[in-house]
Chain A
Amino acid sequence: MNNDLIKKLMEEQSLNMVEALELEQQLESGDHVRLSQAISHLPDGEVSLAWRSELNQKLQAMAPVETKKKFSLKWVYSSSAVAAAIAAFAFFAIKSNDTVEPPAPMVSQNEKVDVESYGVKSYEIDQLEINNNFHVPVKLAQSSDEFMSQY
């Protein structure tokens, strides 16, 4: 390629048909193609996970209200479902405890003593009533003669 054409290219002047064709040929020449391939194999950049996470936060902050609403509704639904599941589990757990093993009556030592005392007392009362029922009236003697005459 001659210097005039190179100068034209550097000054970004418009090219005539012949010059344009020459430029085209140069761009497709072996050297240019090899160089192009070499450049295409240069490594890309690599962003970190932290970078990506930061970008996600920025994008989420800009997310439209509808998306946020959807997100919050989803959260409400899921948390309600979890709460309901916990409540149901607790209910059935209590229920199953009731049927399997009924709670034994709790009687304290003092209560036992009370019951026994009550039994003794009521026995005494019964005896007293019996005694009363079989009571024989005794007529007191007015004098020694009367007393002696009873025997």
Chain B
Amino acid sequence: MSLLVGAERVPARNQNNAINEEALVAQCRTQDFEAFGRLVDAYQNRVYGFVRRMLRNDEEALDVTQEVFIKAYQGMAGFDGRASLRSWLFRIAYNLCVDRARKVSRQVKTLSYEPNEEGDEPMEFSDRSWDPSESLLANELQGIMEEAIASMSDKLRTVLLMHDKEEMGYDEIAQAMEIPVGTVKSRLFLARNHVKERIERYMQEGL
């Protein structure tokens, strides 16, 4: 029986809040309102964080996050358990974000990625003076990362957030987005390089 530790990330989050996923899902399938409330408690902030970064609009993100849980509640009886509860929820969230983006006819910004004319290793860092894990507390750097995430295409952003923020596996992401695993890896590489490029530019400007 697996534990739903994904709801509260390890080790940054408290493992004591871990809940039994299988039992919870079984209860939720019977439309148990209270059990579903526990599920919402476990995931609401993470789902909201994901949707907010995807839509880049707080108000809209709040609405869509509610929609995610409403859809989940309606579809819980049909949840077969093949995917994890987490990836199922994020799949719903992703689909709703895509729908919302289509509705407002949002122009999907394409990633402007120009390889270095000099050829090889265009994204390699020579300067290792920055270290994201050490500089994590610096709000400025966080802001740069947030900006970089916001400025990439929806496709890249989704993969980056699902993998690096939500710690979903390649298979889970591929399943959620209905794309090949190889494409997930390609997008992840490009997304990270985009963020790295932004941070590098920021560091060079700061020197």
Contact = CB atoms under 8 A, between A and B. Distances in A.
A67 B31 contact: yes
A37 B133 contact: yes
B189 A27 contact: yes
Interface in B72-115: 73-74, 111, 113, 115
Contacts of B131: 34
Question: What is the interface of chain A mostly: helix, strand, loop, or mixed?
Answer: helix
Given A44-B48, A47-B65, A55-B40, A1 B123 contact: yes
Query: Which of the four size classes fits the interface of chain A?
Result: 35 or more
A37 B132 CA distance: 8
A64 B12 CA distance: 38
B52 interface: yes
Given A1-B123, A45-B49, A35 B196 contact: yes
B37 A56 contact: yes
B45 A45 contact: yes
A23 B165 contact: no
A6 B66 contact: no
A110 to B, nearest CB: 70
A56 B36 CA distance: 10
B44 A52 contact: yes
B44 A47 contact: yes
A34 B132 contact: yes
B4 to A, nearest CB: 16
A55 B121 CA distance: 49
Given A1-B121, A39-B165, A42-B165, A54 B48 contact: no
5 contacts: A7-B115, A9-B190, A39-B165, A44-B46, A46-B48
The 6 residue pairs across chains A and B that have the minimum distance between CB atoms: A38-B132, A45-B48, A44-B49, A45-B49, A39-B164, A3-B115
